[in-house]
Structure 1
């Protein structure tokens, strides 16, 4: 078997070496020493890291598609996305400037870009506090300037300051999730929040805890991923708890946002009978002596009944030939 693994095509060999290194490639692939725990752990970490990077490149795409298709960012917290984007950007700059392997932080690059687009989408679509297109355009312009300034600052700050900023990602992760969690609890709904994105973030944090401890060993990064995992689990529980329950939507009507409640899942409309039989209403009855008796529920009397006093006015008689 080793005769085959030692003579694999060059492109397969080069790819394997670039992922797990020459030492572990020779040990696991060429010599088939699968009992080497150190190389197995390192290879698993590399595989998970690459998977996270690939998954991170599309993680927030379903969320963005939900916003665009609904033309609404209902249920999404703007402060939550701003803080989360800042946290991703700091981790990206910290890992890049410390020459960490790309497989340990690559998803932060893609998530930062996707979060910026989602944040701009939240600013673009109207809400209760932002009714005009001009105000949305102004907010978007301010957000773009702030994004550019933040990127330049993260690329130029000293290493010591960047380490302090990376430490600040722990409270940033906390405060980025708390507004979304509070908004979900208050509305009893997760709105346009993507279930795929929440589940993917939970899986990504779990995998990142393993890859960070195996390849980097940075306690700051490990603590940040552990806290992010806990808060993403809370969001996942809310997705399960509020799934299919009543939601509050906003609709633009006559230039104003009018709230209306939609019940989900939708129930079929009740059918209305073709006719409704009316109950007999209490009517006064008349005795043979012309006196009125107390009203009681009785069938509606027909015309010509001897027990009903005929109305005053023109009298009717049968024509006699």
Structure 2
């Protein structure tokens, strides 16, 4: 078997070396040394990292399709997506400027882009009646400008400041999930939230905890992924609990539902058929003999009573 693995085509060898390095390629592929625990762990980490990057490139696509098809962002929290996008962008800049392997942070590049698009769609399809009546063009322009400015700032800030920002992603991740969790709890529904995206984020955080500890060993990144895992699990539990709910707006109460039913009755002119209406006719005052009769103003006819 080693006679075959040691004579693989050059492009296969170059690809393997670029992924796991010369030492681990020779040990695992050419010599088939499955007892090399360090190289096995490193190769597993690399494989998971590449899978996460590929998965991250399509993770939010189902969420995008849900919004576009429904032409609604109901159930999605704008503040949650803004904070989550900022957290992704900071981690992307921090990892890139520290020259970490792309397999340890590549999904943040794709998730940042996808989250920016989702955020703009939430602004374009507002959920409240007040904002729907207004033009979304100024808000979209402002959001695009702030996004561009944030990207320039993250690229240009000093490394010490960027490290402080990376530490800030830990509470930022917390605050980015809390608005969505709170909105789901109030509405008893997850609205247009994509189940695929939630499950993929849980799996991605689990894998990232392993790859970060195996390849980078950065405690800041590890803590951030651990917190993100806990919050994504909460979203997953809400998705399971509220699955199949009608997803009406959280502000609909029992009183408003009653008013809607009453208005519907009035609009359709439905009245109880068995209801009787009693009409009381006052008796006419007696007329004395010899008194001329005069028609009352406004009365154009008189009724004779036998």
Q: Scaled by the length of structure 2, what TM-score is found?
A: 0.81
**SS class of match (2:8):** coil
Question: 1:118-267 maps to which residues of 2 (within 5 A)?
Answer: 118-128=118-128, 129-132=130-133, 134=135, 136-248=136-248
5+ long unaligned stretches in structure 2:
251-255, 258-306
Could you tell me how far 1:245 is from its partner in structure 2? 2.0
Could you tell me how far 1:125 is from its partner in structure 2? 0.9
Could you tell me how far 1:249 is from its partner in structure 2? 5.4
**SS class of match (1:35):** coil
5+ long unaligned stretches in structure 1:
251-258, 261-321
Q: Could you list the per-position Cα deviations for residues 156-198 of structure 1 after superposition, in whole angstroms to 9, with x for gaps in the alignment?
A: 0000000000000000000000000000000000000000000
Aligned residue in 2 for 1:100: 100
Aligned residue in 2 for 1:81: 81
Give the number of equivalent residue pairs: 254
Q: Scaled by the length of structure 1, what TM-score is found?
A: 0.77
**Bigger strand share:** 1
Could you tell me how far 1:240 is from its partner in structure 2? 0.2
State the distance in 2 between where 1:184 and 1:95 align: 32
**SS class of match (1:113):** helix
Q: Is the 8 A contact 2:187 2:249 kept in 1?
A: no
State the distance in 2 between where 1:29 and 1:247 align: 53
Q: Which has the higher contact order (CA 8 A, sep 6+)?
A: 2
The Cα RMSD (Å) is 1.8
State the distance in 1 between where 2:60 and 2:42 align: 28
**Bigger helix share:** 2
Aligned residue in 2 for 1:303: none
Q: Could you list the per-position Cα deviations for residues 212-254 of structure 1 after superposition, in whole angstroms to 9, with x for gaps in the alignment?
A: 000000000000000000000000000000001232059xxxx
- Runs (4+) of structure 1 exceeding 2 A deviation are none
